[in-house]
């Protein structure tokens, strides 16, 4: 049995599309591609070669002219050079505006595939088949696409909503436990900004989520993970359905991301995205507390939930100037003003624009007091 979450057309700027959550969903793909598509390019990382080829073969069996591109793994694929190679493939295969791309992979793959689709002939269809928790609840939904440059993450990109998203939970059976833990950071984020029930579910099932056993996970863990995915997708669907191009409401989805992206850049993308965002959320919580907006118990709850999952809540204290410079280049900045999302309370996000430098430094001091992690082994496993 599958669940469909519809993302509305963002004030008629785009067509509505469905996010389908369930198991064994490949049969749903032609319906999301729609009528008129003849050629399909399946984009997948090298680590998912077998899965990508299976999708290509299935499309071919259903009458499509199907091609495949194998990409570098993780953030290494999000470069102008890789995008240019994909454009070359599309050109040589005579892809027209009525053809489509299918992404099979994690968040980096959906970002790249969406960007290639947005820029080829000024926009062709893309359907995402996310294979990680992070991609299911964040990158695949909402239409943000992008590639990285030496100056920062996702500084080159476009808003290009997909024609549909297939969240096939079977792919999570083989997901590494630390990839699942990293993805939980984005789930927790949606809990803090919009749905406290998410936080309650995580708090009640921490052990099963932290010690993820894939296909051997207990039924209760599978049930709660499925509910967490659906709730997180519904939060994002509601937000991007009202504000596709991040003119206001959608900015709340950046909670924890301003510092998080700066950490990723400083670490040359050797940190997983979720680990960096976890630290970024604690920093944002401290900003809210020091600014007189957020109670101590909510800040403590950030640290408790994230640490219980095995996510980092601190960062090294000798990188502040580097991080500050990176944040000033962040795409969320306006002119010389840094912008952050902070909380007045759980479910009550607000924007903080141009905070006093002493406030920023004080908040950073609060997250750089302790060792980099509270859990042995987490540094290696999360790419810290």
The catalytic site residues sit at 122, 144, 186, 236, 246, 250, 254, 257, 261, 273
Could you tell me if 134 and 229 are in contact, meaning their C-beta atoms sit under 8 angstroms apart?
A: no
Burial class (CB in 10 A: 0-12, 13-18, 19+), 167: buried
| Angstrom distance (rounded) from CA 294 to CA 316 | 24
| Angstrom distance (rounded) from CA 134 to CA 108 | 10
Exposure on the CB side of residue 276, measured as CA atoms within 13 A:
22
Residue written as token pair 């709730």: 231
Strand, coil or helix: 241: helix
Q: State the pairing for strand pair 65-71/39-45.
A: parallel
Could you tell me if 9 and 15 are in contact, meaning their C-beta atoms sit under 8 angstroms apart?
A: yes
| Angstrom distance (rounded) from CA 145 to CA 166 | 17
| DSSP percent split of the chain into helix, strand, coil, nearest 5 | 55, 20, 30
User: Shortest CA distance to 312 belongs to which of 346, 342, 271, 362?
Assistant: 271
Could you tell me if 122 and 152 are in contact, meaning their C-beta atoms sit under 8 angstroms apart?
A: no
Which H/E stretch holds residue 262? helix 257-266
Could you tell me if 54 and 48 are in contact, meaning their C-beta atoms sit under 8 angstroms apart?
A: no
| Angstrom distance (rounded) from CA 180 to CA 66 | 31
Q: Which two tokens stand for residue 71?
A: 């990409």
């Amino acid at each position: 049995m599958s669940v469909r979450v519809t993302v509305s057309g963002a004030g008629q700027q785009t067509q509505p599309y469905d996010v389908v959550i369930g198991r064994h969903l490949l049969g749903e793909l032609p319906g999301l591609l729609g009528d008129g598509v003849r050629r399909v390019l399946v984009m997948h990382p090298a680590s998912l070669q077998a899965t990508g080829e299976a999708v290509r073969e299935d499309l071919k069996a259903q009458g499509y002219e199907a091609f495949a591109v194998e990409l570098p793994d993780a953030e290494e694929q999000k470069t102008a050079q890789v995008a240019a190679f994909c454009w070359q493939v599309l050109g040589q295969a005579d892809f027209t505006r009525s053809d489509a791309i299918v992404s099979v992979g994690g968040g980096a793959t959906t970002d790249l595939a969406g960007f290639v689709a947005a820029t080829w002939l000024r926009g062709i269809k893309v359907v995402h088949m996310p294979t990680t928790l992070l991609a299911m609840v964040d990158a695949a939904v909402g239409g943000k696409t992008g590639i990285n440059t030496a100056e920062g993450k996702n500084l080159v990109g476009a808003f290009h909503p997909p024609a549909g998203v297939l969240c096939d939970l079977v792919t999570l059976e083989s997901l590494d436990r630390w990839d699942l833990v990293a993805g939980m950071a984005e789930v927790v984020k949606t809990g803090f900004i919009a749905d406290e029930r998410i936080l309650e579910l995580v708090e009640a099932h921490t052990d099963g989520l932290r010690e993820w056993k894939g296909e051997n996970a207990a039924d209760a863990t599978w049930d709660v993970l499925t509910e967490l995915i659906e709730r997180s997708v519904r939060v994002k669907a509601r937000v991007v359905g009202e504000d596709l191009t991040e003119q206001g409401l959608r900015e709340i989805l950046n909670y924890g991301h301003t510092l998080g992206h700066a950490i990723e850049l400083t670490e040359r993308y050797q940190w997983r995205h979720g680990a960096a965002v976890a630290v970024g959320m604690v920093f944002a919580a401290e900003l809210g507390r020091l600014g007189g907006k957020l109670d101590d118990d909510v800040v403590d709850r950030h640290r408790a939930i994230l640490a219980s999952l095995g996510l980092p809540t601190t960062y090294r204290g000798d990188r502040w100037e580097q991080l500050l410079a990176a944040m000033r280049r962040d795409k969320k900045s306006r002119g010389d003003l840094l912008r952050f999302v902070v909380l007045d309370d759980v479910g009550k996000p607000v924007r903080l624009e141009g905070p006093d430098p002493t406030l920023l430094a004080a908040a950073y001091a609060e997250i750089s007091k302790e060792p980099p992690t509270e859990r042995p082994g987490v540094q290696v496993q999360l790419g810290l």
